[in-house]
Amino acid sequence: MASLRIVSGVAIGLSLAGCAARETAKVAPPPVMIPAPQPQYAKAPLPPGATPGMRIPALLPDGSYATPNRSLTSAATIWHLRSALNVAALACRGPDEGQIVTRYNTMLTVQRITLAAAEKRYSAEYQSQGGDWRDRYDDAMTRLYNFFSITPVRKTFCAAADQVLSDVSSGPANGFETGAAAHLEKLNAPFIAFFRAYDAWRAGTMVPVEQAASPLSMAASANPPVAPRSASQPVLSSQPVPAARPYAPPVINPPRLTVNPAAIQ
């Protein structure tokens, strides 16, 4: 009877040893890093009326644009002002059309002496340079009229022309020449604003659609739910995942058989 108990105890011990040998190490998996939603961007919209590839004056190092209205003499300033308002009278259409034409014709009548003197001095500036000055002068006037006729700026230009003609008609007759530079600047401003907007679009300025998120965020669990992806889609990561520690098998103490001496007496 005692021998059976010993054999039974040995069998139980060996069984426990077998179970212990089959135990596997439990290593906590590293945290799973998943890409966070990336910010979305949209390109700045093309200015109204503009077309891709259109030519505009060059942007100069001082931040201005190479328009025909730079570095003008007093005579050139007056004549360029008259040319701009002439374009407005011919091209501006809408509720203020009749008002613009009437004020322009009034200006021609009131300022006829000043305008004639300015045109004479301006053409003399070209003539003093020698050569075929008349062709150069006519080419410059063609470029000037084309400049003030840029279609995408028509609406804001006409509004500025209406305001300038209002100021001229309400001001003193002898103040036309002294105020010519300020009036021309007001007519030139809508074109500069358009050129800046077009350059911003051409440079590819990006406008954020939503606030940027951090490159990576840690999953709440070791096996977070993820959207299905194709087999060819790579797993994105902006930084390397630390290498896992080398596996070390657990230390398993061998089973010990304890025999009660009283059981074999």
Q: What does the pLDDT look like over 140-191, one tens digit per residue?
A: 999 999 999 999 999 999 999 999 999 999 999 889 999 999 999 999 999 9
Instruction: Quick: pLDDT tens for 38-55.
Output: 666 566 688 888 888 889
Proportion of the chain above pLDDT 90, given as a percent: 51
Q: Which of 106-110, 152-156, 249-253 has the lowest mean pLDDT?
A: 249-253
3-state secondary structure the chain: CHHHHHHHHHHHHHHHHHHHHCCCCCCCCCCCEEECCCCCEEECCCCCCCCCCCCCCCECCCCCECCCCCCCCHHHHHHHHHHHHHHHHHHCCCCCHHHHHHHHHHHHHHCHHHHHHHHHHHHHHHHCCCCCHHHHHHHHHHHHHHHHCCHHHHHHHHHHHHHHHHHHHHCCHHHCCCCHHHHHHHHHHHHHHHHHHHHHHHCCCEEECCCCCCCEEECCCCCCCCCCCCCCCCCCCCCCCCCCCCCCCCCCCCCCCCCCHHHHC
Q: pLDDT, tens digit, for every residue of 184-239?
A: 999 999 999 999 999 989 887 655 554 433 334 344 444 444 444 444 444 444 44
